[in-house]
Structure 1
Amino acid sequence: MEYIESIERDLDLFKRKALLTEEYKKILEDWCVQAFNKTSGALGGPTFEMDRVLSINNNDKKASYEQKSIETTTITCPENRKIEVVLKHESILNLPIPDVLIKLIKYNSTWFNETVDEKKTDAEGRAVFTDLTVNESYFAEAIDNNLVENNKKLFKAYDELMSAMYTQLNASWQEYKPQWEKGIDVVELIKKFIKGLFDGFISVWDDIKLAYNVITDPVKYGKMIYDGAAKLYDIIGDIPNIDIQASLEQSKDFALHLAAFFSDESAIYLIANAVLLNIKMYPWGNILPELVSLGGNILGDILRGLIFGALLSLVAGPVGLAYMAYRLTSVAQKASGLVKKIWEILKTILKSLTNLVKDFFEKVAKLVHQMKNTLMTKLNKETRAGAKQNTHLEIEHKKETSSGSTHNDTASQSTKKCTKTGCPISMVTGEELLLLDDATLLGVYPFTFQRQYRTTAVEVSSVFGYGWSHSLQHHFTFNDKDETIKWVDHQNLIISLPMPDKAISLSANLMAKTAVWLGEQEQEYLFTSDSLNGWVMHVNRLADNSGKITGFSQKKQHLH
């Protein structure tokens, strides 16, 4: 039977550890990648493409894994006269990229930039530069002359995970296969089922932002999930209400792994394919015609419920059930009887998937631990041999972990990171986001003057009217009592940052993808963010604790 053969071909990809090296690359080249990208962006991804991350003193710059050369943003040298550059793959695993040439370049606004030092990244992907000039501006360039080999190592790092997944998937298939061999043998029905699953698979990426919000803002989004699930309680019975925030606080290491998962396209792809294969394998019997008749959208809801339900079950079992029920509310509107029939089946599949995902994360933790031990052993050997000094330098900086928010206190990323429908409506917050490019100053790094309308800022005034903002409209409030800076940016997003000082000159908000550090002048602060497109904003603190923009810079280009 062709359907059985297709399942075994899918299993073989896991067995041969070829899901990423063959199928993943094929998907990247296929037309359907466009469909994935249309439903992505809420977290800066997934773009369905692996990224590299180059950081200079914890200021990150992302680039495609196929990009040989990457430049960082420009920073000011702190008082310790040290700058640390780190190159890694963006992965739930700890995957540094060693032996890559790093050039540290002194930025000159009026003349040519000067390369002051060159080093290769060590086993931890680090290059540390010392004895630099305090308050001088520097940026770094990474040049990977072993790009192909390093990318092979990237995909190979997931081999052990695929092997473990194959063992579990194959065990399930051996149980289910006999029922398919004697079960439904309607070719057209099977074809429609496969098409529906594929259409549903594309919609899976819509839920990444929502699932991410559940673990980063569990009070608000946990309530939303449970309120949605409650609509099905008369069909499926009650689900215990779990304090998600308390559960996450009890296991902070796992919470960090789960948050990292949502930025790792390879890990998402592996889990999503494992779930898809589980659904294909399960012997649906007489329920199959009803499932097929509902089409891809409904199958997509079931897929999303199972994938992210399995992930959230690791926080606590009932949370995963609640998420799955929340996703089935749209199904119940069209086919409440079917929901009643398949609920117990879905619980069985969810339990199996939860075990698979649990093993996945346990294996990840084990691999990360092994990699760290291997790295430390290598570093210690190098140090003892005196062949090369590899210093592990922890750049001290202040951290904030809250995301940017709108004026109605809804968490949101920058406009370009918010997925929108065909109309300018954010699929993240539900508000209208209208972004207009008015003019562009040409140069090596063009500066585009933009206007934006945001529904949640309708009570906020600007020169263009209520709800509008523009590229030069930024408001700063410096608070010495709690040592924070409140930044209302040009997109009317409210961002909180710890205030840097001479002892710790850098502060970052990783969730909001923003940073601030001390400038060369007294009371000067330099701000940057994902939405500034590489520009650094120079701000002077005023006597009334507000801030005044004095200019923008990017490498040797300045705007005043």
Structure 2
Amino acid sequence: MTDSIQPDVPTLLLQLRDCLAEYRLQTSKWYGGLLAAEQKFSAGDSAITRNIESKGPAIHYAQCKKDGTLTLIHAFESAHFVPIGNTPVRLTPLRSKPLRPDNYGFATTLDTDGEELHTHIDDSGIKLLEGCKPDQRYRVTFYPQTTPQQIDAYFDSYQGLLNELGDWLSQQWNNEFHPLWRAYDNATNAEQLLLHAQSALKGFGDTLIGLWDSLVKLFDLITHPKKNLEKLAEFLNPEQLDSLLQASGQSLQALYLIASDEPLLWAYFSTFQAWLQLLPPHLCTEIVTRLTSEVLIDILIGVVLTGGLGLAVKYTAKALPTMTVTAKATHLLDSFIDLLLRTSKARSTQHTQISKPILLHADAPLNTGTKGKVDLTRQPGDGPDQSLLDTTLMVRGKPQTYTEIVQVQHVDDVPAQSKNLNDQPAEPADKTCTQGCPVSMVTGEELLTLTDAVLDGVLPFEWTRLYRTSAVENPSSLGFGWSHSLNHRLQEDGNELLWTDHENRQTRFPIPTAQRPAITNSLARAAIYLGEKDGELVLAQSGKTQRFYHFKHFKLTAISDAYGNRLTITYRDGRLHRIENKFERALMLRYHNDRLCAVDYQYYDHSREFIERSDEHYARHRVRLERWTTLHTAVTYTYNDAGQLIGAANPLQETEHYRYDADHVIQERQLAGGATFYWEWQHRGKQARCIRHWNNFGQMHARYEWDDAGTVTVHHQDGSRQIYEHDSNARLVSQTDPDGANHQKTYDEQGRLIAEKDPLGAVTEYQYNESGHLTALIPPEDEPTYYSYLDGHVRKIRRGMAQWYYERNAQGDITRQTDPDGHITRYTYSPQGKITLIQHPDDSYHQLTWNTHGQLTGERLPDGTQRHYAYDAQGRKTTQQEPDGTQTHYKWDAAGRLSQITLPGGKTRAWSYNAYGKVTAERDERGHITRYEYADHLHLVSRRINPDGSQLNYRYDNARLLLTGIENEHNEHYQLHYHPNGLLRQEIGFDGSKTAYAYDLNGHLLEKTEYPDTLSSDTPPLKTAYQRDSAGRLLVKTLPDGSEITYTYDSLGRLTAVDDGQWPLAYEYDL
């Protein structure tokens, strides 16, 4: 063992002295308002609270009273009135200005309107401003003249503190830590201890992230001492506590500024981190594992109280309720805490005078809840309490932190877009823009995806097959062009690995090594890892559910999830044979010659009868029977002499048929219900792309025009057209709808969506961190939504003043969720990942019980009642028992469709189906039968025959198969007509009344016209008009009589006011 594992002390101390340089760089856009959003302003008759990061226009500002006066109050948000005096103020007059007076909507912004007013709030924190223009709206700005020099001085004022802290750490290293490290280097288990320390420091980093979010609690504790007496008593003796309660407003002002000063607090935490890294691993592990966020916030409270009020707080490691450490660790920690307290007391007062203009600078949007009478409860000795009427109040609180500690994860990313077997960029089928049956709008190839079987269990598995035209030269066990869920191939290709997945897409990766154990491919949304076993590689792809594909010597051997649930894949004669779970359910693949002919659903037979049969068979033939027993055949496949898949039948022998040309390019698909689809192709073989697509029921017929720039124009049967354009990575960049509406998208080099523009020009932006996780969603007008991560999972969501917090287990599932009101919901999971307990904020709980197959067998509801469930061997629910003991029984047909329910009283309901799985007959518990007919091979009901013989008829004379007509039992007709984009254009009721609709390019209703009865032709139509903002929110509704109803929203898009000119309504929200 050598001293090479000792910390690089000069570098650590240099990083400490420069810790605020990066902080300042990252927060430079907030200068003049870094913490300004920690305040609430009110002025005049209208108000709003607005985060400094808000992009939306503020709707309400301060309004001067009719007598030309405006009362301003500037104070901290605390239990008593603590004024913030000596504050320069600027008032900017404003007027409304139309933002976009066009045919698609209406919105306004605020523009300046006249000369600004400048005033000054004295030490009292209260200013009666005279001479403002009656009823004029103003924007109020505090400390408007903050200069770059003040900002420089603000950050420079920390440097003396950092130098002093650094000098002390250097002395500690020479006098305390270095001798301890020499002893550690000679320890036989030093390497193991180092690993423990590194793990502990990682955990400490996670604790710091959570702690930074808790700074709000620190501010609340300091500003509301009476409700936090028990906590404060841990730090202060009775005399000190009384000093805090009796402190003057001027003294408390310094205290509150320190509690608001995030850069100052960050300097202390940076020192804490450096100090921990100087500790030898055994002491580091001992201390760090006990430093919870509660302990750290306790230390911070002592620092703030000492610096803010000069109280001689004595806080030691022994006072920490969760700390139980050795004498040496206690001594070191006591020395460090004493350092923080001493430096805080010596330097904080001077620092607050420099920081005040920076911390308190802000524009002042307002909150309606503070308008009117204001009661000022003063600190003892600061004068009598006071009530002011019609007052503008601006209070500085700390509703949230405005900086945060983030976890930076290095990602070894080698982006390269996946390609199909024709060397064209290809996204997963479910992320590919398609049209029709379906045809890819990227390559023009067919992407037919069908699910034929499901293996139920804790880790469910769908047996899915996909036909891809570009794979027609690739023979598989399902014939040419087809692949299935287990068709994964991994092979070496030079110094790379080539993964051909179950959709016949190929993705390239560098070969993982011990130095590069995990490599991502962000463009392909995939990753590769070294497995736990020698020769094992693990591949993963993003999707609805996270699955890991395990390869041993390049052969797929298992599929697993984050909880370690596993499906094992076995081979026989070199071919895939069975996929099974550990709870004795499986899908077995049967072959005829080289083709897959069936998939069987099986279970592992433990019955005595089977054992007896197997023993008898062994006695006769010296071979035991296979314990895997087939419950049913999920699907059978048939082929022609050319080896092409021509039929797939379910257990009821409802069969789909396929026809191909000589190059195996699909020409025809006939569904089991009779509907048939046809394709016409340009080029041959794997290079074929569709140029015409139609069917045998007439409504759908499309032609495709392709160019060489990634654009295709789709011509529909009704004359409308759509245009799609993709980039070189198969991402959709432009889509033009039949009504001319154009949607545009922009991506970064990793293929992540960074901006999209809607047809009216509104832009939504997306931002990501170094790991590729979405960190911000910025809408055109409203408040952005921000996302913070820990270990790759969302831990916090912030929008405006509202914040949601999440704690998770190692698998990423939420274990604790805190909503913006502080309500906590907890979740508990089984070892297999099934949720077993939900504890609600009101202490009620919902308990769930699962069997080994992952089936819900019982639940205890929050009201204390219980339900129980039973299943058949194929995982289908057969019985549900209600809290009162009554039972409902379920029966299923061979295709897994519900055929009958037996109700608790013994009565039954029953259903029959066609080959599409659509209900053809429904019998209720009284024996009444309702029948459904389907015309022209459609899956859409064309006639409903009621039990009394009456009928309803339906028509779908539309290129999109939308409902166009209903005929009732009285031969009356209801008609519906559509715009080319599918939106309703006109409806004619059974009574002949007609209503027409017009929309903007975003599909939002702009006008509704109600036409009079045809017999009253002299009556003019009734028109209702709708004006909207860029987000589609209704701003003004103009009724047929010309009257208007206006709607107002806050920066979160929530409705705040409705005014019909008679009875206005206002809405307020707590966050």
- TM-score normalized with structure 1 length: 0.49
Structure richer in strand, relative to its length = 2
Q: Which has the higher contact order (CA 8 A, sep 6+)?
A: 1
| Higher share of residues assigned helix | 1
Larger CA Rg, structure 1 vs 2:
2
